């Protein structure tokens, strides 16, 4: 994640889950449930990415009363970066969708 | 008193996967991992366990431990033992791996490589210093510094090999990422 212009899928999922305050386990669950088990984020990957996002100030500690389940939330900077990446992903999807529509016309 | 034995490591920088597979085979026979020992592991005899093992490297501050281990246990990985920055976990076969994306896997290799890099830098520095000394000095200083130079040379070679092994694994992961960016 040296360049933040392009988020990896795992980072994108975690940031998307942290648009609302959540702890790590809740992030894992949400991603797994939303994708019907297609995407399972491993605990070591999750921990690594959360630490990176904290470092880059894309997320912040929201509540650490339970030291086993610290709650994080996306910062303003994090929201901006996530929006930028949504744009990038939309262009990708639109290109494919429009191409397929034309093909079956 | 439980029966214990020592299992030598193949060197985590060289073949971490092989170590984890060996630990699994031993556990199937009842020799379960109990802890780290010098260049290896301590096994204790008991009930055979059908488990897979995974290792992670991360230096944890005291206030980070609870959260870190909680994430693993909620994902089905039971903490077995830790030493300094090394942590081994076990889980039922089929449990999703602790690393699910290549970028984080590369970060893990970097965390393993960084202390090795420091050791290599120190050894190479010492080697160069004593090489200069024995090249430009004369008499007793020359012969003593020659001895010390050789001493550092002998230490530097295995350290460099270890460092190259980690770079090799890193390069393999980068290639994996470029070939197919599945996750």
Provide mean pLDDT across the span B41-62.
Answer: 96
For residue B182, what pLDDT is reported?
Answer: 45
Domain A9-104, CATH class in plain words: mainly alpha
Listed by start position, the domains of chain A span 9-104
Say what the pLDDT of residue B134 is: 87
Query: Which residues on chain A are in Cβ contact (under 8 Å) with B104?
Result: 10, 42, 44-45, 48-49
pLDDT in tens, B16-44: 999 999 999 999 999 999 999 999 999 99
**Which of A37, A10, A48 has the alpha carbon at shortest distance from B94?**
A37
**Per-domain residue ranges of chain B:** 4-91, 102-179
Q: What is the mean pLDDT of chain A?
A: 92
B66, B74, B99 member nearest A28 (Cβ) = B74
Chain A residues touching residue B58 (CB < 8 angstroms)? 47
Residue B2: predicted pLDDT: 83
Confidence of residue A75 (pLDDT cuts 50, 70, 90): very high
Smallest CA–CA distance, residue A60 to chain B, in Å, is 15
Identify the three-state secondary structure at position B87: strand
**What would the pLDDT profile of A23-35 be if each residue is shown by its tens digit?**
999 999 999 999 9
pLDDT in tens, B148-183: 999 999 999 999 999 999 999 899 888 887 775 544
With beta carbons under 8 A apart, name residues in chain A contacting B77. 43
Subunit contact A28:B107, Cβ cutoff 8 A: no
Residue A46 sits at φ, ψ, to 5 deg, of: -60, -50
Whole-number pLDDT of residue A1: 44
What lies within 8 Å, CB to CB, of B60 at 6+ separation is: B68, B85
Alpha carbon distance B91, A100 (integer Å) = 44
pLDDT attached to residue B180: 59
* Six-digit token string for B102: 């290549």
- Interface A–B counts its CB contacts (< 8 A) at 75
- A61 has a chain B CB within 8 A of its CB: no
- As a whole number of Å, the CA-based R_g of chain B is 21
Between B67, B70, B99, which is nearest A44 by CB? B99
Q: How large is the average pLDDT for residues B90-96?
A: 96
Res B46: pLDDT:
95
**B45-68: average pLDDT:** 95
> What pLDDT is stored for residue B176 in this prediction?
81
| pLDDT attached to residue A5 | 60
User: Measured between alpha carbons, how far is residue A2 from residues A25, A86, B2, B56, B166 in Å?
Assistant: 25, 19, 49, 21, 20
Mean of pLDDT values over A67-86? 96
Residue-level pLDDT at A105: 66
Which chain B residues touch A45 with a CB distance below 8 Å?
98-101, 104-105
Residue A54 structure tokens = 């904290």
pLDDT at position B14 over 60: yes
Give the closest of B58, B70, B104 to A49, CB-based: B104
């Amino acid at each position: 994640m040296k360049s933040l212009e392009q988020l990896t899928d795992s980072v994108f999922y975690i940031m998307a889950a942290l648009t609302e305050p959540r702890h790590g386990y809740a992030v894992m669950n949400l991603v797994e449930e939303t994708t019907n088990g297609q995407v399972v984020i491993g605990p070591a990957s999750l921990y690594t990415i959360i630490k990176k996002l904290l470092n880059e100030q894309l997320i912040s500690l929201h509540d650490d009363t339970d030291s086993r389940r610290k709650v994080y939330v996306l910062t303003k900077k994090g929201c901006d970066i996530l929006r930028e990446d949504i744009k990038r992903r939309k262009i990708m999807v639109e290109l494919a969708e429009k191409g397929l529509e034309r093909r079956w016309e | 008193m439980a029966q214990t034995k020592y299992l030598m490591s193949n060197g985590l920088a060289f073949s971490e996967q092989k170590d984890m597979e060996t630990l699994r085979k031993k556990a199937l026979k009842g020799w379960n991992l109990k802890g780290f020992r010098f260049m290896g592991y301590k096994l204790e005899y008991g009930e055979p366990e059908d488990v897979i093992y995974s290792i992670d490297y991360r230096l944890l501050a005291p206030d980070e431990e609870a959260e870190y281990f909680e994430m693993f246990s909620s994902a089905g990985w039971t903490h077995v033992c830790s030493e300094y920055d090394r942590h081994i976990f076990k889980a039922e076969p089929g449990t999703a791996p602790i690393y699910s994306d290549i970028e984080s896997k590369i970060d893990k290799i970097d965390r393993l490589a960084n202390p090795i890099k420091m050791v290599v830098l120190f050894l190479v520095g010492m080697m160069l210093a004593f090489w200069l000394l024995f090249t430009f000095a004369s008499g007793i200083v020359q012969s003593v510094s020659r001895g010390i130079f050789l001493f550092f040379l002998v230490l530097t070679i295995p350290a460099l090999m270890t460092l190259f092994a980690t770079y090799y694994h890193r390069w393999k992961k980068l290639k994996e990422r470029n070939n197919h960016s599945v996750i």
